[in-house]
């Protein structure tokens, strides 16, 4: 029964795991910055990482065929954002 549910909802489980990994990675970077008393901390990096992950997933689901183009847009935005931190 549980295996059937997992197979039926595999895409949802994958999405949840990707968002959890993004949150944990953002949290680790943000915690390190907070411990060093930098401006952008835990909440900022969690939001940035989960937002970039959500943007990538939605772009791929909505029909973008080139993940490199999506990543390049995220990198450009992050470069612009970090120039103010």
- Express each pLDDT in 21-43 by its tens digit: 999 999 999 999 999 988 888 99
User: Per-residue confidence at 85, pLDDT binned at 50, 70, 90?
Assistant: low
Q: Which domain holds residue 56?
A: 2-82
Contact present, 26 and 48 (Cβ < 8 Å): yes
Q: How many domains does the chain have?
A: 1
For 38-61, write each residue's pLDDT tens digit: 888 899 899 989 988 988 888 888
The pLDDT of residue 70: 82
Mean pLDDT, the chain, as a whole number? Answer: 85
């Amino acid at each position: 029964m549980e295996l059937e549910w997992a197979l039926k909802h595999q895409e949802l489980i994958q999405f949840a795991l990707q968002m959890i990994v993004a949150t944990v990675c953002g949290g680790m970077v943000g915690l390190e910055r907070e411990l060093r008393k930098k401006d952008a901390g835990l909440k900022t990096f969690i939001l940035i990482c989960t937002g970039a992950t959500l943007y990538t997933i939605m772009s791929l689901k909505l029909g973008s065929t080139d993940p490199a183009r999506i990543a390049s847009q995220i990198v450009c935005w992050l470069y612009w954002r970090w120039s103010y931190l």
